[in-house]
A and B are shown apart, each in its own frame.
Chain A
Amino acid sequence: MTRFLLRRLLLALPALLGLLVLTFVLLRVVPSDPSTALAGENATPEQIAAIRKAYGFDQPLWRQFVVYVGQVLTGDFGNSIFTEQPVLGDITRRLPATVELVLAALLFATGVGIPLGVLAAVYYNSSFDHAVRIVTVGGLAIAPFWFAIILQLVFAMDLDWLPLRGRIPVGMPPPPTVTGLYLIDSLVAGRFDLLTTAARHMLLPAFTLSLGSLASITRFTRAGMLETLQKDFVAYEKAAGYPERRVIWVYVLRNSLVATTTQIGLLFGALIAGAVAVETIYDWPGIGSYAVQAILTSDYKAILAVTLVVGVIYAAVNIAVDIVHALLDPRVAEQL
């Protein structure tokens, strides 16, 4: 197991380096010059040229890259053009908001998606199964940015049940930082008023973000269940007198979850990508909205750092998925 983890971590390094190269090159082939952005609106061509020289933009691309990677390795991600703060500080401040949003969405998607998938498989081809199929196709087809606006219109504007945007109301002090996740921090502080407020703010964005994953998890669980239900051991377990519910929810489900966990690992990428849109619409102060801002202002250091952080998270999640695999299936564990 330790050797497996070590190997996976070592394999993640070249992947992350590749990601960085790709982002670096892509940032430079698009026709936007960071020196113009740095110089400001009223800069003369001479000023821009000076900045280009000062920041090393006149150097060959590969040398700029080597310099950048060297800085990153010492923990220096540079300063943001827009906020004029160290990029790393910006990201650490904003990351908990995204983590909380993504986790809430994922928790909802698995907590609802897995039971839905199980029931759809057990009642295969029933009207319930058909209803689930229609809803999940809808969940996959609906564009989150459109759905977010509809939810805002209905639940925030028309009915006035839920807040329109933000993590907590403007001006309200957040709970003392322990994890950076407001729901957990307000629980730790015993501030149940804050907990409700934060939860009410969380509801619409998390639901919007979860929709695609919910549909995907439901479908994968259903397919996995249907496949497992055909296995000989299910017939044996029934014949041997295992209670029907235990057969379905314990013995069949655990076999089926292998496919679902793989899917959850892959979904994490989609969730973070989705967070970019959802955070922007709901004005959620996470790294998604930060990334949008960085792109709009050609804030290349911020873009690179966000990409790298997201890449690290994605790699870590997929290593975690492999560990969960091993926990679910002893045969996988033996191969690690």
Chain B
Amino acid sequence: MSGTDTALLEIRDLSVAVGTDEGTASILDGVNLRLTPGSIHGVVGESGCGKSTLIKAILGLLPARGRATEGSITLQGRALLAAGQKSAAQSARGRDIGFIPQDPLLALNPVFRVGDQLREAMWQYGMSADDPQRNQPRAVRRRVYDQRLVELLRAVQLPDPEQALQRYPHQFSGGQRQRLLIAAALACGPQIVLADEPTTALDVTTQLQILKLLRQLARERGLSMLFVTHDFGVVAQLCDTVTVMYAGQTIESGPVAATMSNPRHPYTRMLLACHPERSQELKGIPGAVPSPLRAPSGCRFHPRCPEMVADCQRARPEAVSGAARMVACVHCHEVAA
């Protein structure tokens, strides 16, 4: 976890506000995140913590009334988003950024063949940044792309990969459709893959298979992945590093092993305690994530925090950074690597 200047994806102080009829909602507030090449970075937090908005911001697909008020997103040195400017992510979607959606049952278009949908991004961007096929006639490209897709479908362990392209989405199971979507995310040889809770909609045994597949693909292909989940168990199985988000803020980050064995932020500790495998009794966190319309002052977690002191309400806690870890809590004055 060294080399501070080799970030593949770097998000700095990103704040996103969305206009609603009741006022402006602060969905993301000073989010910091870095992802080093070849690693899997988990983003974990309860529902409503802004994880999905973070993904949308990277993809440049914020809702119509949403905009970045502060900060920046850089992918391999190229600015995808700078505060107040139009997102430059449009040309990165599909090409530099592969995307695995949450619900594979709803993500594929029901009336088009799988092949038509999986080829779509390749027509636009080719198979990689310097694809020699780009100027070939359509029929030649199609043959090459289909070869590539069949190879990818084999890599994601889909049965009958040759026939799969001719079939329609409803002819596949949920797990198989997620495999199709993983293959689609890899089709153009992206620099980074964004996965938005890709196992949440699947049943438990399928979840495990998909996680194993993602881990294997990441290892074999040296994938860089940003993996959003609400489940620390998934983070433990899959990720190298993790960022914990609460109410639109990043409150702790670091290597998975260190963060999970020695969590520093009270929220991280409580989130870990919620995991049934890690504690005997079923625990929860009292209270709920605050509405982004009425974010608490100071540390946004203070209304639910058992270790709350007067300072917590006054000012947002300074982030304390070590070599690889970061914590934003008043009780934390230093973090070891």
Contacts and interface: CB of A to CB of B under 8 A. Distances in A.
Interface string B260-287: 0000000000000000000000000000
Interface in A213-263: 231-233, 235-243, 246, 251, 254-255
Interface in B175-206: 181, 184-185, 188
Sorted nearest first, the 8 A-B pairs with minimum C-beta distance are: A241-B94, A232-B106, A241-B93, A236-B107, A239-B99, A330-B168, A241-B121, A233-B109
Question: DSSP class of B's interface residues: helix, strand, loop or mixed?
Answer: mixed
A330 B169 CA distance: 10
A239 B59 contact: yes
A254 B124 contact: no
A242 B108 contact: no
A184 B95 CA distance: 48
| B120, B121, B181 interface centre (most CB from chain A within 10 Å) | B120
Interface residues of B, number: 28
Contacts of B185: 240
A232 B107 contact: yes
Contacts, number: 69
A240 to B, nearest CB: 5
A231 B103 CA distance: 12
B110 interface: yes
B139 interface: no
A251 B93 contact: no
B227 interface: no
B173 to A, nearest CB: 16
B93 A239 contact: yes
Given A232-B101, A239-B101, A329 B111 contact: yes
Nearest to A330: B168
A247 to B, nearest CB: 9
20 contacts: A232-B103, A232-B107, A235-B61, A237-B120, A239-B59, A239-B61, A240-B120, A240-B184, A240-B185, A241-B94, A241-B97, A241-B99, A241-B125, A241-B188, A242-B121, A246-B120, A328-B111, A330-B110, A330-B111, A331-B168
Nearest to B185: A240
Interface string B98-135: 11010100111111100001001100110000000000
B124 A242 contact: yes
B78 interface: no
Given A232-B103, A241-B95, A246-B120, A331 B61 contact: no
